[in-house]
Amino acid sequence: MDFGSPPAGGSGVNRDELMDQVKSQIAIANAQELLQKMSDKCFKKCVTKPGTSLDNSEQKCIAMCMDRYMDAWNIVSRTYSTRLQRERGKL
Amino acid sequence: MDSFGSGGGAGGQIDPHMQHFIEAETQKQRFQQLVHGLTDTCWEKCMDRPSTKLDGRTETCFVNCVERFIDTSNFVLNRLQSKAGTGELH
């Protein structure tokens, strides 16, 4: 690999910087997706009748729902990844 | 996308290292996107009221949900392919 070579010409963006930017933008996009899904799912589960404020039990439910959503995400990720490996082994 | 990583140097030549990086990141992102989608779908099928712990039954439901979704996707693909092969699809 050819890490750390100086940017050619000097006018171009440093390659390592560019790669870091790509990675952090992907991370931001994923966080936004998760935020949006969690809000959507936990609102549906926990705020059945929106009142004048988020009451205590609703907040508790949302907190729990977020943790369970993360659990679910991790199970799905693990299962999908194992399945992909199995499918690749079949080829 | 092939203007990526030319580094301003030899006019439009693809930097193989950069190309490899982009391909790997694209692949990872596609995986993440699918996990987001599957979690959404299976949450609707498997999740009752959120409690303090994800119980074994719910976990099994998530695992089965992912496996059967992929089976379904493979089944649909195979059937469409065989239909296309026999000229049933227009």
What number is the average pLDDT over the span A64-74?
97
User: Which of A29, A75, A80 is nearest residue B34 as measured by Cβ atoms?
Assistant: A80
DSSP annotation of A62 reads H
Does the pLDDT of residue B87 top 90, yes or no? no
Confidence at A16, pLDDT banded by 50, 70, 90: confident
Angle at A2 between CA B10 and CA A10, to 5 degrees: 45
For residues B59 and A78, give the distance between their C-alpha atoms in angstroms, rounded to a whole number.
12
Residue found by looking up tokens 């000229």 in the block: B87
Mutation to test the B interface, candidates A80, A82, A86, most B Cβ within 10 Å:
A80
Does the pLDDT of residue A31 top 90, yes or no? yes
Cα dihedral: B6, B12, B13, B16 (round 10) = 40
DSSP annotation of B15 reads -
User: Are A76 and B50 inside 8 Å of each other by CB?
Assistant: no
Report which residue type is found at A18. L
Does the pLDDT of residue A4 top 50, yes or no? yes
Asked if the C-beta of B21 comes within 8 angstroms of chain A's C-beta atoms, the answer is yes
What number is the average pLDDT over the span A6-14?
55
Does the pLDDT of residue B38 top 90, yes or no? yes
Q: How much is the pLDDT for B13?
A: 75
Give the CATH number of domain A15-90; options: 1.10.287.810, 3.20.20.70, 1.10.3210.50, 1.10.150.130: 1.10.287.810
Please name the helix (run of DSSP H) or strand (run of DSSP E) that holds residue A74, with its range, or none.
helix A56-90
DSSP annotation of B87 reads T
Does the pLDDT of residue B28 top 90, yes or no? yes
* Nearest by Cα to A41 from B39, B30, B67: B39
Residue found by looking up tokens 């998530």 in the block: B62
Confidence at B2, pLDDT banded by 50, 70, 90: very low
Confidence at A73, pLDDT banded by 50, 70, 90: very high
Q: How much is the pLDDT for A3?
A: 53
Does the pLDDT of residue B7 top 70, yes or no? no
User: Which of 30-69 (A) contact B at CB < 8 A?
Assistant: 30, 33-34, 37, 41-42, 45-46, 61, 64-65, 67-69
Closest approach of chain A CAs to the CA of B8, in angstroms?
Answer: 5
In a 13 Å sphere around the CA of B70, the CA atoms on its Cβ side amount to 18
B69: nearest CA in chain A? A80
**Tokens read off for A68:** 């369970």
Does the pLDDT of residue A1 top 70, yes or no? no
Query: Residue A33: helix, strand or coil by DSSP?
Result: helix
